[in-house]
Chains A and B, each alone.
Chain A
Amino acid sequence: MIDGFIALYIFALAAILGFEIIRKVPVILHTPLMSGSNFIHGIVLVGAMIALGHADTTLEKVFGFIAVFLGAGNAAGGYVVTERMLEMFKPRKKKEDEGDK
């Protein structure tokens, strides 16, 4: 069971982590990163599956179906688009990772 305060700690730590990871990112990676983070919140699919998996009434089933449909689109679409963008970053002339910390 995650109570309010533990959730607060998780929220805060995850937020600081996200901030730190993005802080020194070269402009060249902005679009792929936005796309990549867009994929990561596709984890909402899992929540949608849990919600639909426990739906009883017709309304809940309809809403759950929509939620799973939308969540799966977020995850699958987000992955393909990000992968295609990052495909462009094939190591070419072997340049050192400028954004690495």
Chain B
Amino acid sequence: MDMIQEYLPTLIKSSYFLAAILFITGLRRMSAPGTARGGIVWAGVGMLIATIATFLLPDMHNMVLILAALVSSTVLAWVSGKKVAMTDMPQMVALYNGMGGGSAAFIGAMALFNAVDHLGGCQAGTIVDTASSHDCLSGVTMVFAVVGVFIGAISLSGSLVAFGKLQGWIDKRYTFPGQHFFNGIVAIGTLGLGFYLMKDLNANYIWIFFGLSLLLGVLMTMPIGGADMPVVISLYNAFTGLAVSFEGFVLQNEAMIIAGMLVGSAGTLLTQEMAKAMNRSLGSVLFGSMGGSGGSAIEGEMKEIEGQDAAIQMAFADRVIVVPGYGMAVAQAQHKLWEMTQLLLDKGVDVKFAIHPVAGRMPGHMNVLLAEAGVPYDLIEDMEDINSQFKQTDVALVIGANDVVNPVAKTDPESPIYGMPILNVDEAKNSIVIKRGKGTGFAGIQNALFFAENNKMLYGDAQDAIAKLIQGLKAL
């Protein structure tokens, strides 16, 4: 027994160390297609080891509460994660990410409340005991606790708003004049209170600070349009990582520090890549405005085409490029699309898929769906690789994509999306756009492609429209 008592702390520390290594290895494996599937398992094993080790920590109380919260939440999240449709994955990532940020924020708040309860009981500038107690907070620890609450709370409420927007519960951008100025004041005020709180620790201030941080997350996310949502989710993912890392310092837990910071930096880089792909800086995503009715009106008429005619046009083409967008995801049309593609390939048509970096609601969203349907990697091309090939393409088939193929991004400096890199569908000899209705896209901007001379519109749900194309191809 004494032996176990003696070596237990070392065993637990080793478990956390092992978990950190497994996380790093897992993330590394996940960053290459061949090993990606194994990567999540490595990371999962790390999580399991760390969780079990935590149960063995000495002086743990409230075991019933811990188990109740752990089991109920795990079951709920597991079931919801299993049941959710592939198309709804982005908002689930937003939701789970918000939960992590919230968890970090509550941990930080607990450390602060605990410090209030023990005011005067410890010398300034010292931390009593290690992981087992955070009764006394040193200056540095206090800074991390406060900043962790701030970032974690923003990630929680911001991710929930992002979830609501993607889920369609919040379908508007909420803007008012002077909004950024107002948000800036709230941000500075909140941080100011946070720093004041370190000097004059008081439970009321903690409540207000927590509340203001939550409010700030909502304020920051409400004015951001759906087109920018991928960047925002990625940013909050990085935020949660940082918050976890900081609270890890507060709790003196190395696994949290390393894993959190790993995600913090990886997430930041991912966010930058996405923003860059949209030719927007992070600042303009967060503080610029997007959408609305900016840009010049477009003259002309949209010409309709029947499924049969569209099928004939593609069947006799040498080269077809398919551009999938959110419309394909919503209609779950990826399987039908692959069926159609195979028919075209059998007829000797050269078919490629062109993926805009931010097509859909998350980067890589389209790749995941196409992979699900069984489309081989080598038919799928990134924007930079395929953009020069549209000129030699007979038919570009756009499926529920809008802003990412809108040529006004190249031509109209007045347009809010001016400067955003797009797929050069307008350069193809012909284009066919499958679209549900005549409305504008997610960003609310008129699309010049739809009015172009060599463009035809195939109206309908992506699934039905492609079914008609398949019918047409089979009839040939």
Give the interface of A toward B (CB within 8 A): 1-4, 7, 10-11, 14-19, 21-57, 59-61, 63-93, 95-100
CB distance from B112 to the nearest CB of A (A): 10
* B472 at the A interface (CB under 8 A): no
B131–A50 CB distance below 8 A: yes
Decide: A18 near B269, CB < 8 A? Known: A37-B237, A54-B132, A73-B76.
yes
A68–B66 CB distance below 8 A: yes
Decide: A52 near B92, CB < 8 A? Known: A15-B265, A42-B47, A43-B19.
no
User: Which residues of A sit under 8 angstroms from B23, Cβ to Cβ?
Assistant: 40, 43
CB-nearest residue of chain B to A11: B261
* B441 at the A interface (CB under 8 A): no
Decide: A85 near B237, CB < 8 A? Known: A40-B43, A43-B47, A49-B54.
no
Chain A residues touching B, majority SS: helix
Identify the 6 closest CB pairs spanning chains A and B, nearest first: A80-B81, A74-B100, A30-B364, A77-B77, A18-B265, A97-B34
User: Which residues of A sit under 8 angstroms from B458, Cβ to Cβ?
Assistant: none
Of B193-201, B247-255, B417-425, the stretch lying at the interface with chain A is B247-255
Contact among A25, A30, A68 with B362 in the assembled complex (CB-CB below 8 Å) = A30
A18–B264 CB distance below 8 A: yes
How many residues on B have C-beta within 8 angstroms of the other chain's C-beta atoms? Answer: 124
A70–B114 CB distance below 8 A: no
CB distance from B395 to the nearest CB of A (A): 24
CB distance from B126 to the nearest CB of A (A): 11
* B70 at the A interface (CB under 8 A): yes
CB-nearest residue of chain B to A7: B249
A74, B258: Cα distance in complex, Å: 17
A4, B138: Cα distance in complex, Å: 10
User: Which residues of B sit under 8 angstroms from A96, Cβ to Cβ?
Assistant: 34
CB distance from B421 to the nearest CB of A (A): 13
CB distance from B416 to the nearest CB of A (A): 24
* A-B contacts besides A49-B66, A53-B57, A74-B97, 20 pairs, CB < 8 Å: A2-B252, A2-B257, A23-B269, A28-B367, A31-B365, A32-B368, A33-B27, A34-B363, A36-B27, A51-B111, A51-B251, A63-B109, A65-B65, A67-B106, A67-B110, A70-B102, A81-B84, A86-B37, A99-B32, A100-B34
